Amino acid sequence: MRLLLVVPDRPSEAPSGGDRYDAALASALRGRGVDVRVVRVPGRWPWPTPGERRGLAAVLAGGREPVLVDGLVGSAAPGETVACAAVRPTAVLLHSRLSSGAGASGAEAAELDRRESAALHAVGLVVVPSRFAERELAKAYGVTGVVVAPPGTDPAPVATGSAGQGPPQLLTMGAVTPVKNHAVLLDALALVRDLPWTAVCAGPVPDPAHLAELRRRSATAGLADRVSWPGPLSGADLDRLWDGTDLLVHPSRSETYGLVVAEAHARGIPTVVGRGTGAEETLSGPAIPAVLPAVSPDMDAETPEASRSAYPSAELPGDAVATDRPEVLAETLRGWLTDPALRRRWRDTALARRGGLPGWDRTADTVQQALARLASPARA
């Protein structure tokens, strides 16, 4: 089987969760014998210029093998995606809705939603990372029949954490954007500044002005010497950061899966995530597809109950909290910081989670089977 995988051209030193999904999927598919050709298309996605859209059109017109387009590209250029779907098997790999990922509102959000709906209704296959994302698309666009292919998780060593040798280290990892909700995190940390802790906010900085505002907020709250902003990390630096972490705090306002949450669990690190986001599904554990209910457009994408878990709710390696109430996040953090039994329980559950995390081979198997059905002449 041959496959063209079209992805946004972005700096490799600061990959997003979607970028890492794309790369890991391509590698796993190649390991299964699929001839994957990856093409990176430049552009200010999800707002490409006419010239950038013409560049995408040229890439999509270059063959007849199935094409899988990252949603940041394919959904943002519906005209080019529709034209591609008319002449070759075409699928969109949607990591998050355009408007949610961009933090758009008003007319901008409406325009992105219009583009995305047109693209998704035109293609023969839509792949998403979670049941949460499946419900979102059904509710927002009436798109059904999508294929859910949760990300895999690479094995990782157990994190040492602070090990009682210093204050607990909290970690937030993700792009420093309003969507990731660092402002609410800082407000919550200000409410627990009487307790010992340090916090690291690691990730790329698309907008230096936003980071500057967050630094001012941190300084005003008296947290400047306790919260660090190292930017994107990789290799040994990233490994050291993970190893020293005691708790991942991921209060993102929009998340379809939360790959970083699974990566924390792979290291035995408990997590606090945003309630009503896809990260809550990841916190709940590997879903059991056999018991998942059917998805319809009128299901509420903000309720996680349709994603059943192999883990009882009392045995979660962390908690899910409201993303707009810093006092609630602060209460959760205070409980974890002051209750040794709670910390031990979350840690033990995260450690137990490690052995049951699926690998990328399962993701690749799901996607490969879906693409094979798409490419089969019988699909007509």
* 265 has a pLDDT exceeding 80: yes
* 260 has a pLDDT exceeding 70: yes
pLDDT class of 296 with cuts at 50, 70, 90: very low
What is the per-residue pLDDT for 302?
43
Average pLDDT, stretch 124-133? 97
- Considering the entire predicted model, what is its pTM? 0.88
Q: How far apart are CA 41 and CA 4, in angstroms?
A: 12
* 186 has a pLDDT exceeding 70: yes
Architecture of the 2-152+360-379 domain? 3-Layer(aba) Sandwich (3.40)
In the chain, list all ranges with CATH 3.40.50.2000: 2-152+360-379, 169-356
Least confident of 17-21, 93-97, 283-287: 283-287
* 299 has a pLDDT exceeding 50: no
pLDDT class of 286 with cuts at 50, 70, 90: low
Question: C-alpha distances in angstroms, 69 versus 37, 88, 118, 279?
Answer: 12, 12, 14, 23
* 108 has a pLDDT exceeding 80: yes
pLDDT class of 15 with cuts at 50, 70, 90: confident
What is the per-residue pLDDT for 377?
59
Average pLDDT, stretch 315-338? 96
Average pLDDT, stretch 146-153? 96
What is the per-residue pLDDT for 313?
46
What is the per-residue pLDDT for 76?
97
CATH code, residues 169-356: 3.40.50.2000
Average pLDDT, stretch 197-203? 98
Q: Of residues 41 and 315, which shows the higher confidence score? A: 41
Q: What is the mean pLDDT of the chain?
A: 91
